[in-house]
Amino acid sequence: FPETLSNPKLALVQGTVNVVMKQNVTLSCLSEPGSPPVRYTLFKHNKQVSALNRSDLTPALFTLTISSASDLGEYKCKAEYNNSSGGKYSNSLNFTFIEPISKPVLSSPTSQAKKGQNVTLSCFSENGSLPITYLFFKGTQNISPQKTMQKREAAVIFLFINSLSDFGTYKCKANNMLVFFFFFLAEERSHSQPLIISLGLILLLLITGFALAIPFCIIPLYKAGE
């Protein structure tokens, strides 16, 4: 007589229960103990998807392609002996859809900054299943703890531009998507420049005035000396 079947175990051997469209997943179904041959049937919402016979104690493997929303939902498998009534059902696995994260946008109110200035960087991914985790980098160095946003809103950090090394390329990573932002050194005009320009103009006016005065002052004196 065949050994009494136990409830089979349904497990993922490839992929995850959180899937994107057109993703392949592989499920294994096995009843231990049990006396082969055993017939394994995979169901989705009580509708048969596929069936396999096993003549040994290896699991039945079912490969699925999640190609549309109709492929999501609860899956179970059933183990039974051929030509027998009844059978045992497995645990269930429920597939849900994950919306891929769109390329994030890294922005700041200004791309030019001066030393001693505070600046703000924000990173936002418009699409993607929540939560979304953001990381900020300066070059290859992580400059802040990861920020996990539970709502559809930007992750924000505040920077203090303290030296020339703080200028350059900044990056933002939303899970696996990476974008860049570049801070430029703003031109800093010296406070003495207006004074220098004013003195130069005054000197130029004096030279011009002196040149214009030569015909009226120097030449008459020269003639009087004759």
Which segment, 28-37, 43-52, 181-190, is predicted with the most confidence on average?
43-52
List beta partners, residue 117: 161
Whole-number pLDDT of residue 145: 92
Whether 99 has a pLDDT exceeding 50, the answer reads yes
- Which candidate, 26, 10, 5, places its Cα nearest to that of 90? 10
pLDDT beyond 50 at 189: no
Q: What is the mean pLDDT of residues 72-77?
A: 93
Q: Which pLDDT band, with edges at 50, 70 and 90, does 197 fall under?
A: very low
At 199-214, the pLDDT tens digits run 444 555 555 555 555 5
What is the distance in angstroms between the CA of the first residue and the CA of the last residue of the chain?
150
Contact between 93 and 113 under an 8 Å Cβ cutoff? The reply is no
Q: What pLDDT is attached to residue 208?
A: 58
pLDDT above 70 coverage of the chain, percent: 75
Q: What is the pLDDT of residues 2-34, one digit of tens each?
A: 677 889 999 999 988 888 888 899 999 999 876
Please report which confidence band the pLDDT of residue 134 belongs to, taking 50, 70 and 90 as the band edges.
very high
In the chain, the domains with their CATH numbers are 9-97 (2.60.40.10), 105-176 (2.60.40.10)
Which runs of consecutive H residues, i.e. helices, occur in the chain?
Answer: 193-225
Residue 158 has pLDDT above 90, yes or no: yes
Query: Model confidence at 226, in pLDDT bands (50, 70, 90)?
Result: low
- 117: pLDDT strictly greater than 80: yes
Q: What is the pLDDT of residue 97?
A: 85
Half-sphere exposure of 186 (CA within 13 A, CB side): 13
pLDDT band per the 50, 70, 90 thresholds, residue 79:
very high
pTM attached to this predicted model? 0.53
CA atoms within 13 A of residue 193's CA, in its CB half-sphere: 4
Letter string b/e over residues 13-36, b meaning 16 or more CB atoms within 10 A of that residue's CB: eebeeebeeebebebbbbbeebee
The pLDDT confidence band at residue 111, using thresholds 50, 70 and 90, is confident
